[in-house]
Structure 1
């Protein structure tokens, strides 16, 4: 049975600590629905397409050293690199990629918002 989407889906992917949850909260505060896709935890390279099939795919990235500073996260560089490997397909197909290392939460939101305004204006609710 095929379901019909009632509104466009914005998917957000990236490694742990890249800022996905924060971006989604900030988008939702502006009435822009977005979904976290846990591709970094899946062995199926195109799981992001199979389960969610977003209309727009946002990829937030973070370097390993910055990921350690953002959260007291007990993971090895090998685990980080494994997440990057699992995200390779999503990265290759994303509409917008942002390395979040140098940006604040607000700056990340602003860059994504401006991208959506420019390329997908129908996803931005009227003020």
Structure 2
């Protein structure tokens, strides 16, 4: 499973294709991404390119947080809390 966004070559594709009401950006460090996916061959240079390519989405995100120290349940709880607060 590839962790990178397939549309990251087009910085604002997230907006052009979907025009979301809310954009949530989940970030992860290089070390944790490698650990989670077992992508030992994934090079830091590719990670840095992905970070650069996704900068536009990150800058326009309504909610942004790093997931390094969070479980999937904690991530879900954070997202749901945010969504509930916007109602």
Pair in the same fold by TM > 0.5: yes
Q: Which sections of structure 1, spanning at least 5 residues, go unmatched?
A: 1-14, 18-37, 122-127
Task: Pick one of 70, 75, 85 that aligns with 1:103.
Answer: 70
The structure with the greater share of residues assigned to strand is 1
Aligned residues of 2:3 and 2:37 also touching (Cα < 8 A):
no
Describe how 1:68-107 pairs up with structure 2 within 5 A: 68-73=34-39, 74-107=41-74
Q: Which sections of structure 2, spanning at least 5 residues, go unmatched?
A: none
Question: Which piece of structure 1 moves more, 88-97 or 66-75?
Answer: 66-75
Aligned length, in residue pairs? 85
User: Which structure would you say has the larger RCO, counting Cα contacts within 8 Å and 6 or more residues apart?
Assistant: 2
TM-score by length of 1: 0.62
Aligned residues of 2:27 and 2:64 also touching (Cα < 8 A):
yes
Highest CA radius of gyration, 1 or 2?
1
Superposed CA RMSD in Å reads 1.7
TM-score by length of 2: 0.89
Aligned residues of 2:23 and 2:61 also touching (Cα < 8 A):
yes
Spell out structure 1 runs of 4+ moving beyond 2 A.
none
Note the C-alpha offset of 1:113: 0.3
